Amino acid sequence: MATRNHHVCFVVPPYLLSAISDSEHNDAPTRESARHALDHHKKYTGKRTKRFAELTLPRGARGAAAAHPRQNIVPNHMLKHIAESEDVDENTRACAKRDLEHIQKVNAKYVTSQGLKRDTSDQKTLAATEEAPSHTVQTYRAVYDAKNDQDEADLPGTVVRVEGQKASKDEAVNEAYDNAGKVLSFYADIFNWKSIDNKNAHVISSVHFGEKYENAFWDPEIAQMVYGDGSTFLTNFTGAVDVIGHELTHAVTEYTSPLDYTGQSGALNEHVSDVFGIMVKQRVQNETADKADWLIGEDCLAPGVKGVALRSMKAPGTAYDDPRFGKDPQPDNFSKFESNYDDDNGGVHLYSGIPNKAFYLASVAFGGYSWEKAGKIWWETMNSGQVAAKVTFIQFADVTVDKAEELFGADAGTIVREAWTDVGVVRKSST
C-alpha cells in the first residue's frame, strides 16, 4: 500500500465521498474536504451525462461518435516545445515539427475564411479545425501543473513534461505521463486501437488540481485528465494505472458505443471502464485471470483504512468496511437492483458491480489472460453497433453472448451466458 498523499480519480463513487462527509468519526476538515469533492463530482457528472446524451443523438452507436468533432488538437506552444526540445529524440521532434506546420496552415485558412485578423493564440489554434494530417502516426502526451488552482477555466496550467521528454522532478507528473502511456499501449497492442479515438488523439493531463482535492477525472468538455492531490484517506492515484485506465476508457466509450449516463446504461458505462481498467492493470502486472486480485483502486486507500480497494469486481460489496467510510454498498446480483434509486444518476457507480462480477466470472472460466477471450468479447460488443444508448443489462448480456459465439464458438457463448445468469441477469420467463 502506497503511503504518499497523492491522487484519486472519479473512479471514486459519490456514495463513498458522501459517507466520509457524513461520518462523525471524521474531523471537520476531512468532512469538508469530502463534501467539497462531492459537490464537484455532481457538477462533473452532469457534464458527463450531457456529453453522452449528445453523443447518442441521433441514436446509433457508431454514427453519433463519428459525427462528434475530434478534440485532439494540442496547443501549438506544446508542439513547438517538443519540436525544439534538446532532450526529445529526433523522430519525436520531427513529428512535432510536421504537425505544428500543419496546424499553422489550417489555422491560417480558418483566419482567412472568417475574415479575422491573424491570431496566433493557443485558443485560436484549438478552435481552428478538427482536421489532422492523414500521415500523423504520433500520439502526444503532455502533463501540466495546475498549481492547486481549482478553476477549470485555467486548465491545463503550466506545461511540465511532453512526449519524448525526460522525466520531471515531480513524481505526479511522471506517473500521469507513464501510466497514460501504459493505457495507450494496451489499447494499441491488444485491440489495435490508436489512442482514445483510434485517430491518435493527444492525451493531456493536469496534476495538482485544487487544494487537497480528493478526486481526479476525465473532463469531456476539454478532453483531458485532471488530478487532485488527495487528502486524508484517498491517495496515490496517478500511481494507480487501473484508475487511469478506467477514466481514459470513458473517452474510448465515446468513440465506440456511447451509453447514456443514467440507470442501467450508465452502470454499464461505468462497468466498461472498470473492465478495461482492470485489464490494463493485469497486463502491467502480467497476471492471469485466476491469479489477479480484481481490485479497482487498491493503491488508492491510505494506510490505516479498513479496506483493500475502492471496488472489488470479484466480490462486489467487500472492498472496504470502515466507520469513517461506511461499508462498500455495491450489490453483486441483479435481484438487488432498484429501478427507483435516485442518487448518482440512478446508481451508475453502485450497480456497475453486477456486470463487473459477470466479467470476472467469464474471465476466470475462460482461463488465461482476461483480455484474450472475455476482453475481446467485450471489446467487440462495444464496437458492434448493436449496443443501444439506453441498453439494459440483459440486452448488453445478449450481445456479449452473440459475440462470444461468433469469436470462439458455442461453448464460449455458454460460458458468458452462465456468468450473466450467476449475477441474476436473465431473461424473464414467458410462461
Residues annotated as part of the active site: 247, 349
Residues 6+ apart with CB under 8 A from 76: 100, 103, 104, 107, 120, 122, 125
Phi-psi region of 362 (alpha: psi -120 to 50; beta: other; left: phi over 0): alpha
Written as one letter, the residue type at 246 is H
- C-alpha angle 49-140-188 in degrees, rounded to nearest 5: 75
* 187 and 127 Cβ atoms separated by less than 8 Å: no
Q: Which residue, 300, 319, 242, 299, is CA-closest to 273?
A: 242
**Which residue in this structure is represented by grid cell 498523499?**
5
Q: Is the dihedral of CA 241, 242, 245, 246 positive or negative?
A: negative
Exposure string over 100-136, b if 16+ CB within 10 A, otherwise e:
bebbbebbeebbeeeeeeeeeeeebbbebbeebeeeb
CB 225 within 8 A of CB 180: yes
- Of 267, 295, 300, residue with least CA distance to 281: 295
If we measure between CA atoms, which residue out of 385, 371, 406, 378 comes closest to residue 189?
A: 371
Q: Output phi, psi for 384, to 5 deg.
A: -80, -20
Longest dimension (CA), the chain: 73
